[in-house]
Structures are given as C-alpha cells and as structure tokens.
Amino acid sequence: MSISSAQVLRSSGALAVEAIQWATAVACEEVSPEAGSPERCSEEEWRALSVAELRPYLDRLLLGRRPDAGLDALLEVGLLDAWLPEISAMVGFGDGEWRHKDVWKHTKQVVWQSVPRLNVRWGALLHDIGKIKTRSVGENGEVHFFGHSEVGAAMFKKRLARRLGFEGELRERVHFLILHHLRASQYDGSWTDSAVRRFAREMDDGLKDLLDLSRADITTKRPEKRKRGLRQISELSRRVKELSAVDAKIAPLPKGLGTAISEAFGIPPSKRLGDLRKTLEERCEANTLPSQQTVEYYLAWMRANASELGL
C-alpha cells in the first residue's frame, strides 16, 4: 500500500511537533535538556508545521523560566535554521568578550534577563538581528555595527513578521523595540529636562517595554560597568516620572502672566519679577487666592494689594 505525500507531511509535522514540545518543556523546566532530545528535524519536516501550530509553542518557550535553554534546544533540533535563520546566523558570530561579544550568547542572556512579557521577550530575541549585516572593523580593530537597529527593524518588518505571523499591536511593538533598543542607553545626566521630555514623548506608550529591554540588554561581565548602566536607566526612568508628574499638574496661573506683570508694573525680567509670580503661586496653593483665573484678574488683585506686595 503506497503512502501519499499528504500522509508523509502529516508524519513530518508530527516529528516537528514532538521536537518543539520538547524544547518548550526545556524552557519551562519541565524536562532536563540532559535527559535526551528528539532527533534533529529536517527543514522539510519543520516546514510541514503551519505558523498557527508553531507560534503558540514559541511564545510559551520565550515566556518560560529558562528561555535561554529553550533557545539552545531549538538550535539543536533544527528549528532556528528552518524558521529563524536570522537567529541561527548569530551562533558563533563574535571574536571575544572585549572587542565583539558572541551575539548568540548575548542574545540568549538578554532574553533570559528580560521581564517575562511577550512584547519584551520577542524584542529581546530579535533586537540584534541587524548586526550580522552591519558588522565593520575600524583601523584600530574596533568592531562597529553602525545602523544595526534600523537594519534589524527593516528585516523584521519585511520578512520575519510575516513569516512568523506577527500582527497588530505585538507586531508594531516588537518593531518599535528593535528600532529603538539603543535609545535609553544613550542617556546621560547632562540631558536637559526638555531632552528627557522629548525622549518620553517620542517613546510614548512603548517607554516601559523599552526601559525593561534596555536593562536586560546590559550583559557586561564587569560589575561596575553593569551597575553604571543600570543606574543610568533608573535615573532616566525617575526623571521621566518626575517630569510627567510636574506636567500633569494644572498650572495655577495663566500663561503670559509674567510678561503682563512686567509691562503693567514696569518690572524687567529679574529675580524680583520671579518672586512676585512665586508669591501668587504660593497664595494659590494656600487657597488664599483663586487659581486658574485670567491675567486681568491677577493684575487687578496685585493693584489692590500693591502696598503688601511692595509695588
């Protein structure tokens, strides 16, 4: 009795399902990788799986307690070559800790260190896929990956997202994380409040995921460098929150009041002018002067209380 090609594909698919189930169980610490793995599947066997069958396993694997071990398991059974060649290309791509980290080892560590949210874990897995295409070596031997964020984001959007069935909000967020994953690490204490506000505005509702990925992306073996990087991101996060709280407050006094006071009372921009405005703000906070009135209201009040204000 002959076996149809459809039956062969179903059999191949069953082998692939068994392999990815094992890798997922490794990531979730349900089995030990040392206990023995299924045989490596061929690309044809992996391709017998549909995206709808594949993705739930990949998502669960990435959310496991040891996604790094799960990724090694996927490499062992051949899934990365068949479905994620951008990731398998990272294996062995490096030439030492100090000049150029092994991108595969780095990526696994970032995934493992990242918070177990699907957005962040997928962003962690894919954040450096652009490095393979952008590696260059300077005259001094220093390795660079200029533009790897942009290249990686384009690779994801053009091919990988469609291949793995990314849609909607998850697709947009993972693309965002790949594109911007270096932004937070560029922060230093010299940023002005305006620069911090602009950063927060540009990152918008992706800020939390981005900061979480940025923390996970610190994989240096040097303790002081690691502490400095984490401290920098924490400081940026703190400043964003503080400025957001300030900006959320409704200003007690109307815009343009300082200029109006200067013109009405002949007081040039100075500490004196600032002190008068501060006095009005303090009275508003103490509820001895109504807040959010018109410029004309406050000018009239100041005229009525000129002697008290030293005008």
Q: What's the longest Cα–Cα distance across the chain?
A: 110
Q: For the chain, what is the domain count?
A: 3
Angle, helices 5-27 vs 67-77, to 10°: value is: 150
| Cα gap 65→116, rounded to integer Å | 8
Last residue of some domain: 83, 110, 142? 83
Q: Domain of 228?
A: 97-249
As to burial, measured by CB atoms within 10 angstroms (0-12 exposed, 13-18 middle, 19+ buried), residue 83 is buried
Same domain for 146 and 41? Answer: no
Residue 171 in any domain: the answer is: yes
160 is a domain residue? yes
Among residues 60, 83, 106, the one where a domain terminates is: 83
Nearest-angstrom CA–CA distance, 181 and 243 = 22
Say if 53 falls within a structural domain. yes
- Asked if residue 91 is part of any domain, the answer here is no
Does a structural domain hold residue 58?
A: yes
Is the distance from CB of 100 to CB of 106 less than 8 angstroms? no
Q: Which of 57, 83, 109 is the last residue of a domain?
A: 83
Residue 244 structure tokens? 């957001």
The answer on 64 and 205 residing in a single domain is: no
* 239 and 102 in a common domain: yes
Is 59 inside any structural domain?
Answer: yes
267 and 164 fall within a common domain: no
Residues 125 and 69 placed together within one structural domain of the fold:
no
Confirm whether 90 is domain-assigned. Answer: no
pLDDT tens series, the chain, 311 aa? 344 444 444 455 789 999 999 999 999 999 988 877 898 999 999 999 999 999 999 999 999 999 999 999 999 999 999 999 999 999 987 644 444 568 999 999 999 999 999 999 999 999 999 999 998 888 877 778 889 999 999 999 999 999 999 999 999 999 999 999 999 999 999 999 999 999 999 999 999 999 999 999 999 999 999 999 999 999 999 999 999 998 888 888 998 999 999 999 999 989 999 899 999 999 998 889 999 899 999 999 999 999 898 88
Whether 88 is in a domain gets the answer no
DSSP string for residues in 230-271: HHHHHHHHHHHHHHHHHHHSPPSS-TTHHHHHHHHHT--SSH
